[in-house]
Amino acid sequence: MNAEFSLSQNLLRQLQFCAKRNTPSHGKQLHAQIFKTGLLQQQCLRLRNSLIDMYGKCGLLQDALNLFDEMPQRDPVSWDSILSAHNQSKLSQRTLSLFPNMFIVDQLLPDNYIFATLVKACANLATVRVGKQVHARFVSSQFYDDDVVKSSLVDMYSKCGLTDDARWVFESVSWKNSVCWTALISGYAKNGQCKEAVEVLRRMPVKSLFSWTALISGVVQSGDGIDAIRLFVEMRREDIQIEDPFVLASIVGASANLAALELGKQFHCVVLVLGYESSVFVSNALVDMYAKCSDILAAKNVFDKILRRDVVSWTAIIVGMAQHGRAHEVLSLFDEMVLEGIRPNEVTFVGLIYACSHGGFVAKGRRLFDSMVNDYGIKPSLQHYTCLLDLLGRSGHLDEADNIIKTMPFEPDEPTWAALLSACKLHGKTEMGVEIANHLLGLNLRDPSSYVLLSNTYAAAGMWNDVSKVRKLMAVMEVRKEPGYSWVNLGKDEQVFYAGEIPHHLKDEIVGLLKELNLEMNKRGYVPDTSFVLHDMEKQEKEQQLFWHSERLAVAYGLLKAVPGTMIRIVKNLRVCGDCHTVLKLISDIVQREIVVRDASRYHHFKDGRCSCGNFW
C-alpha cells in the first residue's frame, strides 16, 4: 500500500511538471504508465484530475475531454480542470455553456476556483452581462470574500471598460497581490484614464516591470503615445530592469503611431543594447514602426534578420509594402511565406488585395480573394470587400464593383461608398457617380472629405443646385473640417505647420521659396484646381487658400532645412487634397528630391513627377 502511495505521489509530481513545462509527449507516456499500473481503475481521483489539468495546459483539449467524460466520479477540481482547459484553448464560450452541467449532471456547486475560472472566461469574451451574473452568484456564496476571485473580477471589469466597477471591487480586496494592482492599472490605461492609472501605480507597494508594462502598453493602446514615452523614460530612471521585452514592443509601437522615425530609431538602439533583437515580437514591432514611419527599406532590413518569422512578421512586412505601393514585392513575399509553410490570416489578405489594387493586378486580386475563402476558410470582412471594391474601382470595373456592393453580406459604410464614388470620378462615370452621390446624401455623413467628394461629383455633372444643397447640409449638420496640419521631422529639427499659418521667423523664406516653385510649376502647365476649396469666394482667393495648405509649407521648410539630397518625410492629419497632390508631384521633379507623405488615407512617395498611389487615394 505504501509503495502504491509513493508511486502515486511521484506520478502526480511528474504530471505537474509536464503541465508546467508544456511537454505533452512525456505527459502521454505518464498516462500510459498510470493505465498499466491500474491506478486509474482504483478510483484515484487526484491522478485523473491531474491528467485533465496536464492535457488542458498542454493544449490537448480533446484528450482532456475524453478522460473527463470517462470519469465515474467527478469533484469540483475535475470541473475546474476541464473548464480551465477550455479557457486555455481559447474556447471561453464553451466554458460558460459547459458550466451548468456541473450541477445538472453531478449535483455539485462551484467553489472559489471555479468562480475565478468563470470570471476569466467572461473577461476573455468581454461579456459584462454574464460577468455580472457570475459576480452576483459569487457574492451570495460562502466564498464571497475570496481575494483571488475578487482579483479576477477586477481584471474582468477592467477589460470590459467598467473601471468604476473594477475600482469598487479592488478596494474591497483585503490582500492585493501584484496581479490585482496590475489589472486595475491596465484597465485605466486602456480606457484612456492615464491620470488614474498612474495614481494607482504610485500607490503600489512594490512596482515591478510587469506593472509598468501594463501601464505603458495600456496608454499606447489608448492612443496616447506621448504619455507612454514619458512613462517609459520615468521607468528607466527608476532603474527597473527590463527582464522581459514586451514593454519594448509597446514603446516601439508608440513611435509607430506617432510616425516619429528618429524616436523609433532610438528605441531600436535600446533594443540592441539590451540584447532583445532576437525577440520575434520586438522585431515585428520594429518592422511595423519603420513601415509606418515611411522607411520601408529599414523595415525590410529588420524583417530579413528575423530568424524565426511568424505570421505577424510576414503580415507586418506585406501590409507595410502594400501601403507604400510596392505590389510586386508584396506578391513575391506572399509566395515565400506560403513556401515556408506559414498560414496567412485575415490581415495578410487585406494587405495582399490592397497591393493588387495599387498594382492594377485585377485578376490576381480576385484570385486572392477567392483563395482566402476557399483555401484558407477565412470569412471576408467589410474591410476585405472594401479593398476588393477599391481594386475594381481603380481598374474601371465599376459595374462589377456596383454589383458587389449591392450583394455583399454587409451594409456598406461611408468609406465604402466614398471609394466607389472616387472611382466614378476617376473614370468619368458621371451618371453612376450621381446615383451613388444621391445615396450618400441620404446617409448621416461624418467625414468632411465625403462632402467634398459629393460637391465635386455634382459640380462635374453641372448640378449646381445639388452643390448648394451639400453646402447647406454641411452647415445644418455642423460639419466642420478638422484644421489641417503637417509635421515635418528632420532628425533633431521638427516643425508642425497649420494651414495658413507660418511661424514669424520663417515666413519670408518659406513664402519666397513657394513663389519660386509656383513660377516653375506654371511654366510646366500647372493650373490650380480650385474645386477643392468649397468656400464661396473669388477664384483668386481660392488659389491663395491652396497656396497656404500645410503640406506645401512643410515641404518648403524641409527643402530649406534638410540636408541637400535627403528624403523629406511629412505626416499629415487629413487626406491630401487633389491640388496639393499635383503640386507635390511637380515639386519632386523640379527639385529632384523624393518626398514621402503619410496622410489619413495612405502613403505617397513623390519622385520624378510621379506618385506611388497612381493618382488614386
Q: Are 110 and 96 in contact (CB under 8 A)?
A: no
Cell 455539485 belongs to 108
Segment 484-497 shows an average pLDDT of 85
Short-list 458, 459, 428, 599, CA closest to 530: 459
Residue 43 has pLDDT above 70, yes or no: no
Q: Are 488 and 554 in contact (CB under 8 A)?
A: yes
Residue 532: its pLDDT value, please?
Answer: 66
Share of the chain above pLDDT 90, in %: 63
Residue 477: its pLDDT value, please?
Answer: 63
Cell 456596383 belongs to 402
Q: Phi first, then psi: what are they for 309, rounded to 5°? A: -80, 140
Instruction: State the cell numbers at 189.
Output: 490605461
Largest CA distance in the chain: 102
User: How many angstroms separate the CA atoms of 610 and 617, rounded?
Assistant: 14
Short-list 352, 341, 272, 257, CA closest to 305: 272
What's the DSSP call for residue 206?
S
Q: Which residue would you say has higher pLDDT here, 446 or 109? A: 109
Short-list 585, 581, 583, CA closest to 617: 581
User: How many angstroms separate the CA atoms of 543 and 531, rounded?
Assistant: 10
Q: Quickly list DSSP for 507-572.
A: HHHHHHHHHHHHHHHHHTT----GGG--SS--HHHHHHHHHT-HHHHHHHHHHHHSPTT--EEEEE
Q: Quickly list DSSP for 325-360.
A: T-HHHHHHHHHHHHHTTPPP-HHHHHHHHHHHHHHT
Helix orientation angle between 45-57 and 76-88, rounded to the nearest 10 degrees: 10
Q: Are 609 and 584 in contact (CB under 8 A)?
A: no
Instruction: State the cell numbers at 447.
Output: 467625414
Instruction: State the cell numbers at 458.
Output: 455634382
User: How many angstroms separate the CA atoms of 352 and 312, rounded?
Assistant: 14
User: How many angstroms separate the CA atoms of 98 and 87, rounded?
Assistant: 12
What digits encode the pLDDT tens for the residues 75-134?
Answer: 999 999 999 999 999 999 999 999 999 999 999 999 999 999 999 999 999 999 999 999
Q: Phi first, then psi: what are they for 5, rounded to 5°? A: -65, -45
Pairing of strands 595-598, 603-607: antiparallel
The helix/strand/coil state of 611 is strand
Cell 512643410 belongs to 554
Q: Are 211 and 201 in contact (CB under 8 A)?
A: yes
Residue 348: its pLDDT value, please?
Answer: 98
What digits encode the pLDDT tens for the residues 290-335?
Answer: 999 989 999 999 999 999 999 999 999 999 999 998 999 999 999 9
What's the DSSP call for residue 576?
P
At residue 531 the predicted structure's pLDDT band, cuts being 50, 70 and 90, is: low
Residue 482 has pLDDT above 70, yes or no: no
Q: Phi first, then psi: what are they for 45, rounded to 5°? A: -65, -40
The helix, strand and coil proportions of the chain, stated in percent and rounded to the nearest 5, come to 65, 5, 30
Going by C-beta distance under 8 Å and a sequence separation of 6 or more, which residues neighbour residue 544?
none
Residue 538: its pLDDT value, please?
Answer: 66
User: How many angstroms separate the CA atoms of 617 and 358, rounded?
Assistant: 9
Q: Quickly list DSSP for 365-376.
A: HHHHHHHHHHTT
Query: Containing H/E element for 598?
Result: strand 595-598
User: How many angstroms separate the CA atoms of 317 and 296, rounded?
Assistant: 9
Residue 412: its pLDDT value, please?
Answer: 87
Residue 541 has pLDDT above 80, yes or no: no
Q: Are 200 and 210 in contact (CB under 8 A)?
A: no
User: How many angstroms separate the CA atoms of 376 and 608, rounded?
Assistant: 41
Rg (CA), the chain: 30
- N residues, the chain: 617
User: How many angstroms separate the CA atoms of 212 and 559, rounded?
Assistant: 41
User: How many angstroms separate the CA atoms of 15 and 12, rounded?
Assistant: 5
Residue 457 has pLDDT above 90, yes or no: no
Instruction: State the cell numbers at 456.
Output: 465635386
Residue 207 has pLDDT above 60, yes or no: yes
Segment 541-569 shows an average pLDDT of 88
Instruction: State the cell numbers at 419.
Output: 471609394
Average pLDDT, the chain: 89
Residue 537: its pLDDT value, please?
Answer: 59
At residue 534 the predicted structure's pLDDT band, cuts being 50, 70 and 90, is: low
Angle, CA 287 vertex, CA 283 and CA 289 arms, to 5°: 110
Domain ranges of the chain: 1-102, 322-411, 413-476, 488-611
